[in-house]
Structure 1
Amino acid sequence: MHADTSPEITRGTAGTDERDRPVLRVSGLSKRFGGTQALNDVDLDIAPGEIHALTGPNGSGKSTLIKILAGYHHAEPGAVAELDGEAFDLGQVTGSRHDRLRFVHQELGLVGELSATDNLALSRGFARTAFGNIRWSEMERRTTALVERFGLGIDVRRPLSTATPVQRAVVAIAAALQGWEGRRGVLVLDEPTAVLPPGEVARLFDIVREIRDAGAGVLYVSHRMDEIFALADRVTVIRGGRRIATRPVAELTPRSLAELMAGEEMETGHRPRLAPAPAEPVLEVRDLWAGPLRGVGFDLARGERLGITGLVGSGHEVVPYAVCGAYPGPVRGRVRLPGRSERWVDAKDAGGSGIPLVPADRAGEGVIGDFSVGENLTLPLLDRLRARAGRLDRRRESALAEGWIQKVGVRTAGRGARITTLSGGNQQKVVMARCLAQQPPVLVLCEPTAGVDIATRLQLYDLIERQADDGMGVIVSSSDTEDLLALCTRVLVVRDGRIVREISGRDITERALLHAMEGTE
């Protein structure tokens, strides 16, 4: 462990009573929300010095389990929980025992208007002088030291609303690790790598292993099989609110784990169909400047699936926002949609050109939590759904929502259900349906499968491919090489704000992508 985070950790000795006792044990865990049984008699135990993966399909109950451990939800009567052999209340949110359970939630729990320094202080307190004044320089020094281990250039004084999703994820992880004394405690990580590029994933893995090696238990929630097999000692699969199995990872294969998750045989690999013959462009971008971007330009052909990738800070994550007119900062450049508009428009006005965006931050940018599934889906189409008197035609709105819910396979109690009752994968389907319902010539997606399980990931792949087969141009901006390998017929690699490499067809391999991203071709 790093000296500033774990000076008091001592590793236990294998074979002792303390070492054999689970650091966290939960049994008989159930939770019902109205008529929905979210969890049903789930058992879970985590050993000290163990990385224990928790996986299952979207909506299986993983997030509910984590929220109960964190004290956000109360468990149903009859559940028993022990932390290091001592019972604790599964609704308790304060006290020294619960402080030894640390969490990084999928929604991150950050305040966008505040800086990284302020966000870390909210969870662990401000450094103060003897007179009670805040020691800002000390706070900024501590925050900088915590985030620098990820190698990101985060300005710890700027509001997190100006940071990228990757940077916000790193701040949330740093907040959970600060002041960590991991002896006989548990660190819970809920999809921590959802938007992290490969280099940052490796750094996070190193930190997680250090915490494990110091004797702490780690509960690692993930849909990513490669992460589970690379990192975990054991894995628990839950499906439909029930624990299906707990197995040593060494006894499983990707196929057998996928079958436990899905409840049936399924193919885990996915590769794009061969690219169609060159077609006319549906999007032309020239001399794009925004944030770190330095004169980026490219064409997108009809029916093409174009990937855009790079390391964090390279600028690849800015491209989709700039192309769609959604980047919050200054933008220069030209965008044209041949066939719909024969004139070039300023990139800053591209949002009015009919290019919809599926954003990277689904919770913060993609859905309105207080709205229903149907309202989220039809929001950009209200002008088309008005009757002659100017009022909203509710019948047409309902029919449109129902049609797209069926078309993209959203699992929901109905279009009137609140969007936040859906799993992350089903929320992503709603956001995609909202974009597709606009019948655009181009669809732009940022991190399209972040935080979704393998079954939903494959469904999203098929949905994207169908749109391309129908002639839509698709841009996939992703730090996930699995997405790029599975979807893209051409990939542009961005480094230092410029496109430095184009990889096409069978040349798109993980090795080629990583070398191009790192500049080590």
Structure 2
Amino acid sequence: MVHAETPLGSAGTQETDRPVLRVSGLSKRFGATQALQDVDLDIAHGEIHALIGPNGSGKSTLIKILAGYHHAAPGAAAELDGEPFDLGQVTGSRHDRLRFVHQELGLVGELSATDNLALSRGFARTALGNIRWPEMERRTTALVERFGLGIDVRRPLSTATPVQRAVVAIAAALQGWEGRRGVLVLDEPTAVLPPGEVARLFDIVREIRDSGASVLYVSHRMDEIFALADRVTVIRGGRRIATRRVDELTPRSLAELMAGEETETEHRPRPVSDGAAAVLEVRGLSAGPLHGVDFTLARGERLGITGLVGSGHEVVPYAVCGAYGGPVRGQVRVPERSPRWVDAKDAGRLGVPLVPADRAGEGVIGDFSVGENLTLPLLDRLRARAGRLHRRRESSLAEEWIRRVGVRAAGRGARITTLSGGNQQKVVVARCLAQQPPVLVLCEPTAGVDIATRLQLYDLIERQADEGMGVIVSSSDTEDLLALCTRVLVVRDGRIVREISGRDITEPALVHAMEGTE
């Protein structure tokens, strides 16, 4: 194991005493939000260094600055092997020693491993410009064979397993690496992997480390940190909290570094009245990683559902609303819509609206206006006698909800993509509220919005609950859960493992429950 002040490597050499990567004074602000503040980080030669922190801690911003996607604020400094490089520079041989595998992998499923690797480094060509396919396939095979997964480099990656696709992404990142002293950044690499393939990926990461490279392993799963890392840096609220040797920590002490002291928030929801009627009941819900989930939502309740990535908590809202893409089992009941239980696979008939997690991909239609996006599910109500759309009624409804939720736009006719992310989110929420449902389900409701919009959304959700609407908030952001929820269900390995209510909902309690370190 590596000591905090002593890098791994052959003792006594100047080369191994010097960190491969050193960053100091790293800050970044987005508007009123201070995403990073004076963060220092150093990666030793030949170590697996974990970067861990809760959602919204600044991990993604730090990685994007290292990758050159964002520019750091003035005053930050960075070195690769002792040589300075510009944070924000995306070209140059020194920066080329810093490679990335992002959570989304960046692969084209319709293309083969050979094609995907060529997209990033180019094709081998003859003097006449023809592609030398045998040579390309030999190169790709040599890169992926070291990981021992038997990948057919000519088949489309859509036919490969998740771990095979991860290996291709890693191979693409490592190809053309001059020498072994560099850093491979892996951003949440197990997020798309089934549990059985995680151990295989760990073996691959260790093999990369043993070959002489260093690895920056970004995660918020503590079990992975203890299984894999030599050192860990904890980041919270945009600041580096600590860098420790993993063998000096316990799961609980690491969770305490992540959670910090118990803090109060200005927004704490009022408790639900005892005996409030149920507006949603779920029993035996199974979908994807979920196994037999049961819960009840009361009138006026704000119920949080949370867990780590892959725990299954993110599946619950989609399954409850009839929007999950895979097989679903179990039963759902919304007493105000139907006194009978409905099979979960038919839950969409109950008309429970969903604010999805992916606003751009699932929440808005980019070619439509603000008004069209808002009234889309209400067209049946807005038709005139001849079946045509009653334009005046549609305009009136859109303008009413734009005003009620405080959307800032040039008008209802403005294209939705001209709005900020926060205002787009308000439109999606307004579309759901305009259906006048007894239940509202939100996934990651404040993702990608600024602080002012976050507070506005909190107030809006609180008003709806005060008027009797039942609200489900599925979120990995503890600030959302603290501010909005009267009760939180914590999901781990597809099952509800903890229920936390009222003043017991604290950040340490949530982190310990999600990580299993209660």
Q: Return the TM-score normalized by structure 2.
A: 0.60
- State how 1:33-182 maps to structure 2 within 5 Å: 122-124=119-121
> Which is worse superposed, 340-349 or 155-164?
155-164
> Which is worse superposed, 172-181 or 484-493?
172-181
Question: Does the C-alpha gap of structure 1 residues 197 and 496 become closer, same or farther in structure 2, counting only changes over 3 Å?
Answer: closer
Question: Does the C-alpha gap of structure 1 residues 45 and 519 become closer, same or farther in structure 2, counting only changes over 3 Å?
Answer: closer
Q: Are the counterparts in 2 of residues 223 and 454 from structure 1 also a CA contact under 8 Å?
A: no
Residue 518 of structure 1, CA deviation: 1.7
Q: Secondary structure at the match of 1:32?
A: strand
Q: Are the counterparts in 2 of residues 358 and 444 from structure 1 also a CA contact under 8 Å?
A: yes
Q: Are the counterparts in 2 of residues 197 and 311 from structure 1 also a CA contact under 8 Å?
A: no
Question: Does the C-alpha gap of structure 1 residues 452 and 124 become closer, same or farther in structure 2, counting only changes over 3 Å?
Answer: farther
Aligned to 1:2: 3
Q: Deviations over 1:327-371 (max 9, x none)?
A: 111001111111221011110111121111111111111111222
Residue 101 of structure 1, CA deviation: 10
Unaligned stretches of 5+ residues in structure 2: none
Q: Deviations over 1:446-500 (max 9, x none)?
A: 1111111111111111111111111110001111111111111001111111111
Q: How many Å separate the matches in 1 of 2:414 and 2:396?
A: 15
Aligned to 1:462: 459
**Structure 1 runs of 4+ off > 3 angstroms?**
1-5, 12-269, 274-278
Q: Are the counterparts in 2 of residues 56 and 453 from structure 1 also a CA contact under 8 Å?
A: no
Residue 277 of structure 1, CA deviation: 3.3
Q: Secondary structure at the match of 1:520?
A: coil
Question: Does the C-alpha gap of structure 1 residues 59 and 421 become closer, same or farther in structure 2, counting only changes over 3 Å?
Answer: farther
Q: How many Å separate the matches in 1 of 2:511 and 2:259?
A: 30
Q: Are the counterparts in 1 of residues 221 and 515 from structure 2 also a CA contact under 8 Å?
A: no
Say which one has the larger Rg.
Answer: 2
Residue 270 of structure 1, CA deviation: 2.8
Q: How many Å separate the matches in 1 of 2:196 and 2:161?
A: 16
> Which is worse superposed, 104-113 or 377-386?
104-113
Residue 272 of structure 1, CA deviation: 2.3
Question: Does the C-alpha gap of structure 1 residues 308 and 256 become closer, same or farther in structure 2, counting only changes over 3 Å?
Answer: closer
Q: Are the counterparts in 1 of residues 231 and 245 from structure 2 also a CA contact under 8 Å?
A: yes
Residue 278 of structure 1, CA deviation: 3.6
Q: Are the counterparts in 2 of residues 59 and 423 from structure 1 also a CA contact under 8 Å?
A: no
Q: Are the counterparts in 1 of residues 20 and 181 from structure 2 also a CA contact under 8 Å?
A: yes
Q: Secondary structure at the match of 1:156?
A: coil
> Which is worse superposed, 266-275 or 193-202?
193-202
Question: Does the C-alpha gap of structure 1 residues 319 and 267 become closer, same or farther in structure 2, counting only changes over 3 Å?
Answer: closer
Q: How many Å separate the matches in 1 of 2:236 and 2:408?
A: 15
> Which is worse superposed, 236-245 or 130-139?
236-245
Unaligned stretches of 5+ residues in structure 1: 6-11
The equivalent position to 2:443 in structure 1, one of 436, 441, 446, is 446
Question: Does the C-alpha gap of structure 1 residues 400 and 494 become closer, same or farther in structure 2, counting only changes over 3 Å?
Answer: same
Q: How many Å separate the matches in 2 of 1:120 and 1:409?
A: 47
Residue 416 of structure 1, CA deviation: 1.8
Residue 313 of structure 1, CA deviation: 1.6
Q: How many Å separate the matches in 1 of 2:142 and 2:499?
A: 36
Question: Does the C-alpha gap of structure 1 residues 235 and 494 become closer, same or farther in structure 2, counting only changes over 3 Å?
Answer: closer
Q: How many Å separate the matches in 2 of 1:255 and 1:494?
A: 19
Residue 431 of structure 1, CA deviation: 1.0
Q: Secondary structure at the match of 1:174?
A: helix
Q: Deviations over 1:408-464 (max 9, x none)?
A: 111222222222222211111111111111111111111111111111111111111
Q: Secondary structure at the match of 1:515?
A: helix
Aligned to 1:9: none
Residue 273 of structure 1, CA deviation: 2.8
Question: Does the C-alpha gap of structure 1 residues 249 and 200 become closer, same or farther in structure 2, counting only changes over 3 Å?
Answer: same
Q: Deviations over 1:239-285 (max 9, x none)?
A: 99999999999999999999999999999743323333340000000
> Which is worse superposed, 397-406 or 333-342?
397-406
Q: How many Å separate the matches in 1 of 2:478 and 2:151?
A: 24
Q: How many Å separate the matches in 1 of 2:103 and 2:465?
A: 30
Question: Does the C-alpha gap of structure 1 residues 370 and 95 become closer, same or farther in structure 2, counting only changes over 3 Å?
Answer: farther
Residue 294 of structure 1, CA deviation: 0.8
Question: Does the C-alpha gap of structure 1 residues 368 and 490 become closer, same or farther in structure 2, counting only changes over 3 Å?
Answer: same
Q: Are the counterparts in 2 of residues 190 and 220 from structure 1 also a CA contact under 8 Å?
A: yes
Q: Deviations over 1:62-100 (max 9, x none)?
A: 999999999999999999999999999999999989979
Q: Secondary structure at the match of 2:499?
A: strand
> Which is worse superposed, 91-100 or 468-477?
91-100
Q: Deviations over 1:169-206 (max 9, x none)?
A: 99999988987899999999999999999999999999
Q: How many Å separate the matches in 1 of 2:281 and 2:47?
A: 51
Percent identity over the alignment is 90
Q: How many Å separate the matches in 2 of 1:286 and 1:82?
A: 55
Question: Does the C-alpha gap of structure 1 residues 240 and 294 become closer, same or farther in structure 2, counting only changes over 3 Å?
Answer: closer
Question: Does the C-alpha gap of structure 1 residues 395 and 376 become closer, same or farther in structure 2, counting only changes over 3 Å?
Answer: same
Residue 168 of structure 1, CA deviation: 12
Question: Does the C-alpha gap of structure 1 residues 197 and 371 become closer, same or farther in structure 2, counting only changes over 3 Å?
Answer: farther
Q: How many Å separate the matches in 2 of 1:504 and 1:338?
A: 24
> Which is worse superposed, 165-174 or 472-481?
165-174
Q: How many Å separate the matches in 2 of 1:140 and 1:461?
A: 54
Q: How many Å separate the matches in 2 of 1:207 and 1:2?
A: 23
Q: How many Å separate the matches in 1 of 2:406 and 2:57?
A: 16
Q: Secondary structure at the match of 1:389?
A: coil
Q: Deviations over 1:9-39 (max 9, x none)?
A: xxx9999999999999999999999999999
Question: Does the C-alpha gap of structure 1 residues 414 and 242 become closer, same or farther in structure 2, counting only changes over 3 Å?
Answer: farther
Q: Return the TM-score normalized by structure 1.
A: 0.59
Residue 218 of structure 1, CA deviation: 16
Question: Does the C-alpha gap of structure 1 residues 398 and 197 become closer, same or farther in structure 2, counting only changes over 3 Å?
Answer: farther
Q: How many Å separate the matches in 1 of 2:144 and 2:20?
A: 28
CA RMSD of aligned residues (A): 8.7
Q: Are the counterparts in 2 of residues 31 and 40 from structure 1 also a CA contact under 8 Å?
A: yes
> Which is worse superposed, 392-401 or 54-63?
54-63
> Which is worse superposed, 109-118 or 280-289?
109-118
Q: Deviations over 1:304-346 (max 9, x none)?
A: 0001111222111111111111111100111111122101111
> Which is worse superposed, 460-469 or 200-209?
200-209
Aligned to 2:505: 508
Question: Does the C-alpha gap of structure 1 residues 330 and 491 become closer, same or farther in structure 2, counting only changes over 3 Å?
Answer: same
Question: Does the C-alpha gap of structure 1 residues 367 and 520 become closer, same or farther in structure 2, counting only changes over 3 Å?
Answer: same
Question: Does the C-alpha gap of structure 1 residues 332 and 384 become closer, same or farther in structure 2, counting only changes over 3 Å?
Answer: same
> Which is worse superposed, 341-350 or 119-128?
119-128
Q: Are the counterparts in 2 of residues 144 and 156 from structure 1 also a CA contact under 8 Å?
A: yes
> Which is worse superposed, 358-367 or 91-100?
91-100
Q: Deviations over 1:120-174 (max 9, x none)?
A: 7644568999999999999999999999999999999999999999999999999
Question: Does the C-alpha gap of structure 1 residues 72 and 340 become closer, same or farther in structure 2, counting only changes over 3 Å?
Answer: same
Residue 514 of structure 1, CA deviation: 1.5
Q: Secondary structure at the match of 2:440?
A: strand
Q: Are the counterparts in 1 of residues 255 and 511 from structure 2 also a CA contact under 8 Å?
A: no
Q: How many Å separate the matches in 1 of 2:236 and 2:501?
A: 38
> Which is worse superposed, 182-191 or 312-321?
182-191
